[in-house]
Structure 1
Amino acid sequence: MRVVVAPDSFKGSLTARDACAAIAAGVRRAAPAARVRAVPMADGGEGTLDCFLGARGGRRVEVAATDPLGRPVTARYGLSGEGTSAVVELAAASGLPLVEDVPPDPLGAATTGTGALVADAVRRGAREVLVCVGGSASTDGGAGLLSALGFRFLDASGAELPPGGAALARLAAIDDADVPAEVRATRFRVACDVTNPLTGPSGAAAVFGPQKGAAPAQVRELDAALTRFADVLADRYGVRVHDLPGAGAAGGACGGLAGALGAEPAPGAALVAAAVGLPAALAGADLVITGEGRVDGQSASGKVVSAVAALARERGVRAVALAGGVAGPLDGLHALGLTAAFSLADGPRALDELRSEAAPLLSALADQVVRLVL
């Protein structure tokens, strides 16, 4: 029996590599002679950098940056062995976990720290930069990131705007005279884990703002500010990002990068799958086991489970997802190719308990899945 193990991380519990180890152990208990291949996955959020470095090699570079509130922080990005390409996780300098110690500031939080990582990579010679935008703490449209690359966002009086998404409501002009030629010569791609547009009822502020502490009135304020930002980007660069699929990722950072730098949005899980060789690994497999912290109807929109299921279907491989929680309907995932999904919970359990015992529970569930398949 040939089994491919390709989960995302289980946030708060297991890295993708740890999840692979737990699932593989369960597979081998049920089928000691099975040939198991581990392919850790990510969707553009946390863990994407590890997947790329594990698959392609390279090194981590440490940079002094700022967190979403402007406080000093040390963050890392990945640089290829030859130094010509880089992978930057937005969450490394601009993620929610960095500001869990203070009350949220949804109007003023910014992505400036991520810009410091990108600027450092370009200075070192990277001319292809992949920005992985999951897990942000801000809704600034990527303006902070762009400001670290030399862009200036000005109000009607010519004064530079302060950090944060709310200030973009006063945006009158964009000055890019100080953007280095190296930045302009760099190809930017954005690994997205969602398909939301920048603005509107399914945009960055409306859908993700509350997760970052935004009250209903603040959501409306941020959406109006992002609309103004998108209007000015369209006037300045001729690129309309208001309703661009994926532009709403990471508080609109994808939209800002696409509008100002021509960045190319792409599904993060699909990018990772190609980089780590998942299509080749699935050739001739009998079963692929994927998973993540939660599987539900939204998982069909670019998450790891959906990418793995689609690739498995193309190759005639059964795909099963294991997750901390499973909530239907899963019609979208089944249509993509997912055979079934199962929850780790073996009875009533508190969330903290599930997280602390995720590895043995995942291993036991994989054991049962393989016995059923056999």
Structure 2
Amino acid sequence: MRILIAPDKFKGTLTGPEAAAAMAEGVLRVYPDAVVTALPIADGGEGTVEAAVAAGYSERLSTVIGPILKPTAAIWGFNENGKVAVIETAQASGYLLSEPTVENALRAHSYGSGQLIAAALDAGASEIIIGLGGSAMTDGGTGALRALGLKLLDVNGNLVPLGGGSLVDVVAVDASDLDPRLAAVKVRMAVDVDNPLYGYNGAAHIFGPQKGADADAVELLDAGLRNLASVVREATGIDIDIPGAGAAGGFPATFVAYANASVERGFDLVASLIDLETALDGSDLVITGEGSLDAQSLSGKGPLGVADAAHERGIPVVVIAGRITVTPEQLAQHGVVAAVSATDVAGSPEAALADAARYTTIATSEALNGI
């Protein structure tokens, strides 16, 4: 039996590769002769680089400026043959690198993510995939482009400070010193949300509070993004308030105006990146999962994206998750023949979190014994 194991991360407990390893152990307890292939997946946010490296990309390490000006080490992936680089905003500009305070919500920036793009350009990348998510900033991607030469100017012709809190002061954008290599590279931005740049469903209002912004800071950040869109529209004629522009603090916004960039559905982009189709074509059974399999999962992101792709090929799917809050009937519509949660096996959420790998292994064995 050929079994493909393709989980997303179990957020807060297991990375995608760690979850896959735990599941593989559970498989071999039931089918010791099975041929197991591990292929961790991601929605395009945190875990995208891990998925790329697990699929064969070389791991690179760069020291960059974090979201509040402290140096940080960021991992990214590179395919030397295809000249494709994979980076994440979470690695260079992530919320784990910044305390969620009002001050930090206003000053956090994406400059380090731009430094990763520069590192990819230095490596000869012809295509750069950016996983968006887990970010600390709400700066519309301006920090990243400033690392690549873009200038944001105030009414006196001076550079405005980094961070989303300063965007209300921008009156002009100077792209004359923007790295010319950026125009020749395809930038593909992976998102798993369709929020616009600004407004009540935009980056500041929806995601700002979890980054430390209070009500006043949210209004200031939203006004800044709205102002940025107006200034960029006047300079380029391009409307940067598009679906998905609200991801990662509005990161895609300035890139669609000043780079050869596209916003793409995260799961589809990652599935192509790791060549999920080829892996599925040689499989008899697929096992997937994530930390919380809930109503949001039913949109076809992550694990159920894998399930749908397998179901189209007539391959049965088993789901293992930290917790499962959807019904067997809902999962069956995606080709899922068995689903077991680590929480049910452990007896409580606390126990499952305390020893996630062990209970993921046990849950996998139980699921396979039940089909």
Say yes or no: TM over 0.5: yes
Cα distance per residue 1:91-147 (max 9 Å; x no partner): 111111112498761111101111111112213322321111221111111110011
Post-superposition offset of 1:337: 5.0
The correspondence for 1:354, drawn from 333, 352, 355, is 352
| Alpha-carbon shift at residue 156 of structure 1 (Å) | 2.5
2:211: which partner in 1? Answer: 212
Contact 1:131 1:191 in 2 (8 A): yes
TM-score (ref. length: structure 1) = 0.90
**Structure 1 stretch 140-149 or stretch 118-127: which is displaced more?**
118-127
Q: Is the 8 A contact 2:98 2:104 kept in 1?
A: no
- 335-344 vs 310-319, which moves further: 335-344
Is the Cα contact below 8 Å between 2:185 and 2:260 reproduced in 1?
Answer: no
Whichever residue aligns with residue 146 of structure 1, its letter is L
Partner of 1:123 in structure 2?
122
The more displaced of 136-145 and 102-111 is: 102-111
Q: Which residue of structure 2 aligns with residue 221 of structure 1?
A: 220
User: Larger deviation: 226-235 or 163-172?
Assistant: 226-235
Tell me the SS of whatever aligns to 2:106. coil
CA distance in 1, matches of 2:326, 2:13: 23
TM-fit CA distance, 1:338? 4.9
2:249, 2:329 → 1: CA distance? 28
1:241 aligns with 2:231: no
For residues 257-277 of structure 1, what are the alpha-carbon distances to aligned partners after superposition, in whole Å with 9 as ceiling and x for unaligned?
223213111122222222222
Counterpart for residue 131 of structure 2: 132
Match of 1:148 in 2: 147
Q: Percent identity?
A: 41
Q: 1:268 aligns with which of 260, 266, 270?
A: 266
Aligned-pair Cα RMSD in Å: 2.5
Name the structure 2 match of 1:309: 307
* Cα distance change of structure 1 residues 137 and 90 upon mapping to structure 2, 3 Å threshold: same
CA contact (8 A) 1:296 1:329 kept: no
Deviation at 1:40, TM superposition (A): 1.4
Q: Which runs of 5+ in 1 are unaligned?
A: none
**1:325 corresponding residue in structure 2:** 323
Match of 1:165 in 2: 164
Match status 1:51 vs 2:54: no
Give the equivalent residue in structure 2 for 1:37: 37
Q: Is 1:27 matched up with 2:27?
A: yes
Kept in 2: contact 1:268–1:302 (CA 8 A): no
Output one character per residue of 1:335-372: Cα deviation in whole Å (capped at 9) or x when no partner.
55555654311365354x42231111111111111122
Q: How many residues align?
A: 370
The structure-2 alpha-carbon separation of the partners of 1:68 and 1:186, relative to structure 1 and needing over 3 Å to count, comes to same
Change (3 A) 1:285 1:54: closer
Query: What's the TM-score once normalised by structure 2's chain length?
Result: 0.90
Output the CA distance in 2 between the equivalents of 1:182 and 1:99.
31
